[in-house]
Amino acid sequence: MCRHLAWLGRPRTLAELVLEPPSSLLVQAWAPRRQRYGTVNADGWGVGFFSPGRARPARWRSARPLWGDPSFASVAPVLSSGCVVAAVRSATVGMPLEESAAAPFTDGRWLLSHNGRVDRAVLPPVRDAESTVDSALLAALVFDRGLDALADTVREVGAADPRARLNLLAADGTRLLATTWGDTLSALVTADGTALASEPWDDDPRWTDVPDRSLVEVTPDGLTTTPLS
């Protein structure tokens, strides 16, 4: 994915998180402000979100541009969640164009999005990848190793492919985990909850930039950032 976001906090509608802010993911799909690789994110989108009483997230993905999906726009104002991962995609050259290549990927309780690229040849064999896109293979590897090993997995893949970009964003309904490795990520901590996003979705002065090569963990108690290397 080329731009992604996550929210952990008081329930918000998917429209409030993804469509309505002045520089929402919807706007970032055609006019990102900080994207270093690619210009538009028109190769699909996805939203995964948790609901009370359900252990596994619900997920809605598409291979179409987010701006070309009036059905999502009509339903998003009435879907609310306290834990959301959403992404818009700019496909890396040579990668498949299909719904199953759009983040977030999922395994059990976890949702995971990847902003970046990795040489598929350096990745160890994995089972159950959702697509042959590099991001799905990487997601399957992260799920195999376990999210508690996320920092080690990113360091290992980064060492195997020095040109890899590995900004990952994951959620399990109770916490968010993210890495920065080659691309941008910003954080907004408010009394209502915490957002992580490839770039700020508005001009709120409380947005802060996460340094490159960091591991970020968000729980209801707050946000911690740890250097990855």
Q: Which residues would be at the binding site for ligand GLN (CB under 6 A)?
A: 1-2, 38, 89-92, 95, 101, 114-117, 133-135
Q: For ligand GLN, which is the closer residue by CB, 28 or 135?
A: 135
Active site residue 83: no
Phi first, then psi: give them for residue 100, nearest 5 degrees.
Answer: -70, -10
Cα torsion angle, 46, 84, 5, 138, sign: negative
At closest approach, how far in Å is the CB of 138 from ligand GLN?
A: 9
At closest approach, how far in Å is the CB of 24 from ligand GLN?
A: 18
Catalytic residue among 1, 2, 14, 176: 2
The residue with tokens 């818009």 is 88
Q: In what order do the strands lie in the sheet with 105-107?
A: 105-107, 110-117, 165-171, 176-180, 214-219, 222-227
Q: For ligand GLN, which is the closer residue by CB, 2 or 150?
A: 2
At closest approach, how far in Å is the CB of 186 from ligand GLN?
A: 16
Q: Which two tokens mark 190?
A: 């408010």
Q: For ligand GLN, which is the closer residue by CB, 134 or 199?
A: 134
State in Å, rounded, how far the first CA of the chain is from the last one.
23
Q: For ligand GLN, which is the closer residue by CB, 173 or 182?
A: 182
At closest approach, how far in Å is the CB of 127 from ligand GLN?
A: 20
At closest approach, how far in Å is the CB of 114 from ligand GLN?
A: 6
How far is residue 24 from each of residues 30, 84, 209, measured CA to CA in Å? 10, 14, 17
- Closest residue to ligand GLN, Cβ-based? 2
Angstrom distance (rounded) from CA 141 to CA 107: 11
The residue with tokens 């929210």 is 7
Angstrom distance (rounded) from CA 178 to CA 60: 21
3-state secondary structure of 147: helix
Beta bridge pairs of residue 112: 105, 170
Q: For ligand GLN, which is the closer residue by CB, 2 or 15?
A: 2
Catalytic residues, which ones? 2
